[in-house]
Structures are given as C-alpha cells and as structure tokens.
Amino acid sequence: MYQRNTSSVVSITVKNHRFLAEGRSTTVTLAGQSCDDPVTVDDQTVNCTVGLGYLNGLKEGPVVIEYAGITSVLILKSAQKFRFIGPRLTDVNPTCVPATGGTRIELTGEYLNAIPNVQLFFRNIRTKVMCDIIEITHDRIVCVTGAHTGEPKSGPLLIVFDGAVGKFYKKKMFTYVNEPTVLDGQVFEGLASGDVSLTVRGGFDCTENQQMYVDYNGTRYYGNCVVRDNSNLTMYCWPPKLDDPGQMMSLSLGFRVDLAGKVVNLPQQTPYLLHPDPVYTDFEVFDGTVVRVDGIFPDLLQRRRPNGSYILEVTFRGDEADHDERFIMVNVTENYIECRSPFDTSVADILEIAITVDKQVKRTVVQRRHRRYYAIVRLLSPQQVIGGFSAMLICVFCAVVMYYRRIIISEINMNV
C-alpha cells in the first residue's frame, strides 16, 4: 500500500467473512498498524480505514483479522505480507537546464507510480508546477520543463504525490541557467598551426563538450574548448590546424556546446582571422647580450597582450627552459624578433635557441647564422686553448722522457 497524507480505505478478501463476522466484533491490523472501522461489503470482503499514524515509518507484516465473540476469539493471519510503501527518488538527470524551458528531465527511483497524481515543483509547493509529466512507471518519471521566470537560481526538486505528500530530492541541486551566449565586440584570430588559443567571453553555465568551428575552403573544421573559471564566463579554445594561407584570411566562425542533452550552436558575426605561421630564418648576437631572430612574423605576433607580454617566447638553446633561461622580449616586427638575455648575461657563444608560441609544448629550434664558424670559435676560446696547450706540453714532456730513457738503456747495454 502507498503512503498517503490522508486516510485510506483498504479492501481485504476473506472466505466466509460474513459468516465469521456474524455476532462477533471484527478487528483488523495491517503489518501491525490498526485498520479502523471495518465494514462488511459482501460475503468475502471487508473494508477498513488506515489513518495517518502509519506515516511514521514503512512497515511490512501480515494482515491479521480477529473475530471476537462472547465465548471465543478467532484469529486469521494472511500467508502473504502486507507492506506500506513510499516513493523514493534516486537520481535526476539533467540537473541543469535552460530557463527558457522545453528540456526533457528523467527522474529515477522506486514506487513512483503508486498513484497517478504526481507533480514536480522547484524549491517549494507554492511555485507553479515546473514540469509536465509525459511518462511515469514504477522506477521512472519523464517530464518536460516549462519556462522559469525570474533570475536563474539553484534549489532542490520537490515531488508531490496525491496533492499532499512531498519528497525533496537534495542529493543534487537543480539549477536554472540562461542560454549560452558569446559577447559581441571580441576579436578572434590565430595561426594556421592552431598554436594560439582563443579567449572567449560570454555565459557558459552548465555547458559541456564545448567546441569552436571555422569554415575553410568549403570544409568545416573543429577545435576543442574548455570552461575553467568558476563563474563560467570565460571559455578557452584551441583552433584547428589548417593549411597555411600565405596571407591573412577571414573565416566564418562559430561555437557549439551541449546543454541539458541538447546541442546549442552559437554562430558569430565576427570572423576568425587566420594568419600564416611565422618563419624563423636564423639569429645573430649583438653586443654579447642582444639576440635578433630574422624571419617573417605575422601581425598577430607583433602585438603585445594586455599584460605587456608577447605571444612568442625565446629561450636559451633547445633545453627545457627555466625562468632564468628565458630571453626578455624587446620588440617583434614583421622581419625580426629582438630580445636580450636576463641580467645582461653574455650569450655570445650560443649556437641555437628555442622559440615557443603561446606557451605551447612544441618548441622550434633556430640555428645561429654561420653556426660552424661560431662552433670553431667556441673551441678556440681561451679556456679551450689553455687546456689544449697544457695537454700538448704534457705529451711533449712524456715523449722527451721516453726518448732519453731509451738512450740510457741502450748505453748501458753497450757497456755490458
């Protein structure tokens, strides 16, 4: 039997009930709970009323009917157990939906269809019904949300049975959110290699599987995105790798996200500016501390970020860069990069450097102009020359010693 917030009438079938009840008082208990006002309906049926007291807890047990006469008492006990049942929610999915409505929600649990009169409310019963039920079974309720007025907010779901018994589901908070949006007035641009990430500002509450896409030469290409900040106001995207265009191009751009099981497309009026990849030719060192890298560098790489830094980073050699190994960026033009060593440390003898774009893992190693010449110069450094000369003197000394030793040995042999 389903728990109710009002009295319930239970019908019990007993063979020869009218005969047994003749001249006797009848008492009925259901799983230890009194069933009041038993009434004989026909020869095999007795009806009784269960009050509100059983709501204190779920119970299970036999049906017991006692026929009490003047001289004897007859007690009948059912072979099957009678059970009071109550609805129980175990999960709700999704728990984050757009306030505009029209989202399909699935609730799972037990005994959800004990009676057909079921309603769903958001936070409390004083609000309007939030969801129109389209399917209900023993363990599942499917409904479609209506529009939510007011500010988006979070709270528990309230499932109401029979217009009175309410069950809050508090394991997961239910949330209404605004539709995802991308703010106007932003500039999106990147390189053909896809090495420059995009920062996208807007509203991305509860979204999943975020992506960006661009249309290039009749084909749509996708890149992955992620929302990292707790406010869900910023999305970071990694553009797809494309063929190098040779010169800047404007491409159609859009974003798409999943929200409550639906794909939401966000096409943009603002284009994606595709720049060719940089070309690194070689580098040279001036005044011992200044490095100039020659090549071709698109406009995107020539501009500083709001914090004053450049997208490019130059480090010593091709090794993993520690903080003190990074060059200080001075200027980036169309034809060269100029940077200087930290703390004015001399880098006159370096043979190669590494360049990264937008803190990517990938590093491009650039060789020094006239590398072989400087490699020889490095070998001829004072330390190397002194070391070589010392080694030569040692070898000469050893040769002289060996020579005179052989002469002495020969003279001794001749005298003998």
Model confidence pLDDT, tens digit, residues 257-284: 999 999 999 999 999 999 999 999 999 9
Phi, psi at 64, each rounded to 5°: -120, 125
pTM of the model: 0.73
What average pLDDT does this structure show over 69-97?
A: 89
Considering only residues 306 and 233, tell me which one the structure prediction assigns the higher pLDDT.
Answer: 233
User: Is 70 exceeded by the pLDDT of residue 386?
Assistant: no
Token representation of residue 2 = 């389903």
The pLDDT confidence band at residue 64, using thresholds 50, 70 and 90, is very high
3-class DSSP state of 373 = helix
The pLDDT confidence band at residue 387, using thresholds 50, 70 and 90, is low
What average pLDDT does this structure show over 110-131?
A: 83
In what helix (H) or strand (E) does residue 255 lie, and over which residues does it extend?
A: strand 249-259
Q: Give dist(CA 63, CA 35) in Å, integer.
A: 10
Least confident of 81-85, 243-247, 258-262: 81-85
State residue 176's pLDDT score. Answer: 93
Considering only residues 137 and 166, tell me which one the structure prediction assigns the higher pLDDT.
Answer: 137
Model confidence pLDDT, tens digit, residues 176-206: 999 999 999 999 999 999 999 999 999 999 9
Number of CB atoms found within 10 A of residue 99's CB: 19
Chain-centroid distance of CA 111 in Å reads 34
State residue 1's pLDDT score. Answer: 54
What average pLDDT does this structure show over 283-287?
A: 94
**For the chain, what percent of residues have pLDDT higher than 90?**
56
State residue 409's pLDDT score. Answer: 64
What average pLDDT does this structure show over 324-333?
A: 89
The pLDDT confidence band at residue 385, using thresholds 50, 70 and 90, is very low
Model confidence pLDDT, tens digit, residues 36-45: 999 998 889 9
DSSP sequence for 256-323:
EEEETTEEEEEE-SSPEEEEPPPEEEEEEEETTTEEEEEEE--HHHHSPPTTS--SEEEEESSSPPPG
State residue 397's pLDDT score. Answer: 63
Compute the mean pLDDT over every residue in the chain, rounded to the nearest whole number.
86
The pLDDT confidence band at residue 86, using thresholds 50, 70 and 90, is confident
Model confidence pLDDT, tens digit, residues 65-80: 999 988 889 999 999 9
User: What is the tally of helices (H) and strands (E) in the chain?
Assistant: 4, 30
3-class DSSP state of 55 = helix
Out of 30-39, 161-170, 313-322, 365-374, give the one with best mean pLDDT.
30-39
User: Is 70 exceeded by the pLDDT of residue 289?
Assistant: yes
User: Is 80 exceeded by the pLDDT of residue 115?
Assistant: no
State residue 391's pLDDT score. Answer: 62
State residue 169's pLDDT score. Answer: 85
CB 72, CB 32: distance < 8 Å? no
State residue 295's pLDDT score. Answer: 96
DSSP sequence for 128-144:
PP-EEEEEE-SSEEEEE
Q: Give dist(CA 299, CA 14) in Å, integer.
A: 92
Beta carbons within 8 Å of 178's beta carbon, 6+ residues apart: 98, 99, 152, 203, 205
Buried (b) or exposed (e) across 257-280, using 16+ Cβ within 10 A?
Answer: bbbbeeeeebebeebbbbbbbbeb
In what helix (H) or strand (E) does residue 158 lie, and over which residues does it extend?
A: strand 154-161
Least confident of 11-20, 225-234, 406-415: 406-415
